A and B are shown apart, each in its own frame.
Chain A
Amino acid sequence: AQSVTQPDIHITVSEGASLELRCNYSYGATPYLFWYVQSPGQGLQLLLKYFSGDTLVQGIKGFEAEFKRSQSSFNLRKPSVHWSDAAEYFCAVEPKTSYDKVIFGPGTSLSVIP
């Protein structure tokens, strides 16, 4: 079945530590890939996207993500986390068909310890 999974429901990191949030997808053809962030009381914001080409993509707020076709993964990373990064992070896909829209994973909640 087609799906987007985020294995980690909740992650806690110390401020200044590195971060990696995992995302796996199951689709016949590699879909378009995205990461969105939802901060408390705010709408979702697009962090970065991958369509094709270079498998390491840079986004806003110092985030990057790496696409690995062999693992069907699109993991989000940040070298040094700030307290303001505490939020809910969603991996999302848009299958490359005419009738499918952006599908979100279940999310990973990030807490940052000062």
Chain B
Amino acid sequence: ETGVTQSPTHLIKTRGQQVTLRCSSQSGHNTVSWYQQALGQGPQFIFQYYREEENGRGNFPPRFSGLQFPNYSSELNVNALELDDSALYLCASSSFDRVGELFFGEGSRLTVL
């Protein structure tokens, strides 16, 4: 148990729709990172939020956006869904001064039809 919770756990959308995924970070952590994990692949870094500001972004288009709230929880929004967006979306919380020590939730499985 990492204390990181994600919702929903599973969801199905159709192409062109929009989705919002939510993450509650572990107590005491001020940083949230989002990853996309396609089937059979390693997690790909989407972006990171620190103190409500985006603090680094991977190679994902602008239709992937996020928010971090004052309680350090976070949302990942994806607009104009494409079939290739089908994946497990992982949220990881961390303390900004603890390099690389990520605590992951169990993920949100998104299927785009």
Contact = CB atoms under 8 A, between A and B. Distances in A.
A103 B41 CA distance: 12
A102 B100 contact: yes
Interface string B43-64: 1110010000000101000000
Interface string B35-46: 100000111110
Given A43-B4, A43-B107, A94 B42 contact: no
Given A43-B104, A45-B104, A94 B33 contact: no
B41 to A, nearest CB: 6
Interface residues of B, number: 23
Contacts of A45: 2, 104
Given A99-B56, A101-B33, A43 B2 contact: yes
Given A51-B99, A102-B100, A42 B33 contact: no
Given A43-B107, A94-B99, A105 B56 contact: no
A109 B45 CA distance: 20
Nearest to B102: A102
A100 B42 contact: no
Given A42-B106, A44-B90, A104 B43 contact: yes
Max count, chain B CB within 10 A of own CB: residue among A41, A44, A92: A44
A25 interface: no
